[in-house]
Each structure stands twice: as C-alpha cells, then as structure tokens.
Amino acid sequence: MIDLSAAVIVITGAMAAGKSTVAQRLAERLPRAAHVRGDVFRRMIISGQQEFTPEQATEAMAQLRLRYRLSAATADGYAQSGFTAVIQDVILGPQLADYLALITTRPRFVVVLAPRPEVLQDREEARTKNGYGEWTVESLDYSVRNDTPRLGLWLDNSDQTPDQSVDEILAKLTEARLPD
C-alpha cells in the first residue's frame, strides 16, 4: 500500500459522476484525511459571482481559477499537516493539467470518474440539485472523454456502488499517482 499521509488525491469528473460521495467515502477510509470540496469556494462569493457557462465569460473564468487556486492551497495545507487531502471538483479539459500544477504536495493522485452518458443522465435526473445549468450531460461527457488529458486513473463507475469505486481506487493507486 502506498503511504498516503501528507498526500493529495483529486477526484474529478462531470456533474453527477459520483465525485462527492466517492471522495467522502475515500476520506472516511483513510486514517487522517480531509475532504476538500471545490464548490465551497464558489459558494463563498456572496455578491458578484459569475456562473461558469459554456461561453466562458472572462470574469467567470477568473473566478473558476480563483476557486481552483484556493482549493489546491487548502489541500496543500492539510497535506503539510499530515493529512491526506481528498479534493473533489469538476476539473475538465486542459484545466486539469493546470489545476494539478497548482498542487505542490507530493505524492499527488488523480482519479477521473467517467460513467457512461446515460448513467450520468439518470443520476442527474434523480438528484435534488440541478448542477448542469446551461451545460448538458452530453457536452460535459464530451469534455471529459475528448478534451481532458489522460492523467491518473480513469474509472467507469457506471455499475459500481460508491464503496466499490473506493475499493477500486485504493487497489489501483499506483495508476492514479502522478509523476513527481
């Protein structure tokens, strides 16, 4: 087993991919872990918040980058104190590599949850929150599969329970580890 003390694990994927639940369950299985929820940093902006839309307005992109910087710094802070920081956020396309460069902690791991599009659609329809806004399941799934660099462990968790996904992540940590 890889030593995960003072490590950072990034869990990403489209909305409704299972990031929150898998990240929480993963953190619960580790001896000292913090669950860093990227969306918390978005919600901290009380006025002047710009939602990130497919048009990628300049201010919305600046706020997204701020959110990413803050969550990466928070994860590094937890790791520096001997915790495994499990970050969960929607980080897709070329922004994934940019985001991972913000994390100074080593070792770093990344897991991309990539359930089938029809599973994303079913999960989205079953959720109480609507995370897609102007986005469609198809557009985000396309971004995951075609625009996101193939870094770390890619996991089709379509037919898995969250605990099964965590089992697979823990069993395949070497695949999720990024080069130092």
Long-range residue pairs from 57-64, CB within 8 A, at least 24 positions apart, any chain: 64/95
Query: What's the pLDDT score for residue 100?
Result: 98
Binning pLDDT at 50, 70 and 90, where does residue 129 land? Answer: low
* Contact call for residues 174 and 2 (beta carbons, < 8 A): yes
Query: Is 3 inside a domain boundary?
Result: no
- DSSP label at residue 177: B
> Does the pLDDT at position 131 exceed 70?
no
Closest CA to 100 of 72, 61, 70: 72
In this structure, is residue 50 part of a structural domain? Answer: yes
- Residues 40-66 have a mean pLDDT of 85
> Is 52 domain-assigned?
yes
Task: Give the pLDDT mean for 137-143.
Answer: 77
Cβ atoms of 19 and 13 within 8 Å: the answer is yes
The pLDDT value recorded for residue 130 is 56
Percent of the chain clearing pLDDT 90 (strictly above): 71
For position 141, which CATH number holds? 3.40.50.300
Average pLDDT, the chain: 91
User: In this structure, how many other beta carbons lie within 10 angstroms of the beta carbon of residue 66?
Assistant: 14
Distance of CA 120 to the CA centre of its chain: 15
> Domain for residue 1, yes or no?
no
User: Is there a domain that residue 2 lies in?
Assistant: no
Name the helix (H) or strand (E) containing 112.
strand 108-113
Domains identified in the chain, total number = 1
Residue 24 pLDDT class (50, 70, 90 cuts)? very high
Residue 54 domain-assigned? yes
Output the pLDDT for position 149: 93
- pLDDT mean over 91-99: 94
pLDDT of residue 143: 79
CA distance 112 to 161: 16
Is 73 a member of any domain? yes
Q: Which is more confident, 165 or 51?
A: 165
Q: Rounded to an integer, what distance in angstroms lies between the CA atom of residue 86 and that of residue 34? A: 6
Query: pLDDT digit string (tens) for 36-45?
Result: 999 999 999 9
Asked whether residue 153 is domain-assigned, the answer is yes
Higher pLDDT, 175 or 140: 175
Q: What is the pLDDT of residue 49?
A: 87
pLDDT of the residue at 132? 45
For residue 111, the enclosing domain spans: 8-176
Residue 80 has pLDDT above 90, yes or no: yes
Q: What is residue 71's predicted lDDT score, i.e. its pLDDT?
A: 98
